[in-house]
Structure 1
């Protein structure tokens, strides 16, 4: 259980060390490469269980990876006892993922207001090909 009385950075540091992960993080099974204030980088290897009926990675998985990473980037900006909730998510799918090539998910906070956060994220193949990009906003709770 993560102690919400600590800062968002402390919570992310704890989360990064937690294995095995439960919930959606366990389902997605991504690895955290880096966490700095306002920015996170994840790595994900496509799983057969995440394929759609045409044999490519399901768009909902891409959306969940981006949502998770952008939410984590917001988390890094929170003070002790603060929480957040994502309030919208816009995604543009640019390429399909049809193999098990690792993906890199990057997310950052573009604006940190008193109550609202604007974030952006992208998914690229390990070779740099853009797969998806997203914008999302979060509210501080």
Structure 2
């Protein structure tokens, strides 16, 4: 890593401390980074009325976006901040429906990483640790 270039881990720690503004997707999704270490991150997610499907339930895309985001940030914590990476595939398993107004813990971690590819896992848990959804994401790393 270039000593003059900030790392993804440094950027995420600054975000958690409130020194950097939250990304717009985090604002839209009600996602907040709360803990980070190299290769791992924990976010808090709180679905609201913006995240409902026509049937009045929290849309599955809410969980998928949270899972993909946590996986991506776990990877970002191992890269230079300017290193581009993007999702190649996202495999989500839904276990139970999310509820509006509940706060969930979204954890992401790096499973394996090469110079150009990474596999990351993520899960959505309630306050009691009950699993709501999980995912495996593959990322391409460019840089």
- Confirm or deny a common fold (TM above 0.5): yes
Matching of residues 8-19 of structure 1 within 5 Å: 8-16=8-16, 17-18=18-19
Q: TM-score, normalised by structure 2?
A: 0.87
Q: List gaps (5 residues or longer) in structure 2.
A: none
Matched-pair contact (CA < 8 Å) for 1:94–1:131: yes
CA distance in 2, matches of 1:13, 1:98: 29
Structure 2: how far apart are the matches of 1:20 and 1:80? 15
Matches of 2:88 and 2:6, distance apart in 1: 23
Contact 2:37 2:77 survives alignment (8 Å): yes
Shift of 1:37: 0.3
Equivalent position of 1:30 in the other structure: 31
Aligned-pair distance for 1:63? 0.7
Tell me the alpha carbon deviations over residues 63-118 of structure 1, each in whole angstroms, 9 at most, x when there is no partner: 11111111000001113642211211110111012342211100000001121111
Unaligned runs of 5+ in 1: none
Q: How does 1:50-89 map to 2 (within 5 A)?
A: 50-79=51-80, 81-89=82-90
Match of 2:141 in 1: 140
Match for residue 129 of structure 1?
130
SS of the aligned residue for 2:54 comes to: coil
2:41 and 2:109 in contact (8 A); partners too? yes
Question: SS of the counterpart of 1:11?
Answer: helix
* Separation in structure 2 between the aligned mates of residue 77 and residue 21 of structure 1, nearest angstrom: 19
Q: What residue number does 1:117 align with?
A: 118
CA root-mean-square deviation: 1.9
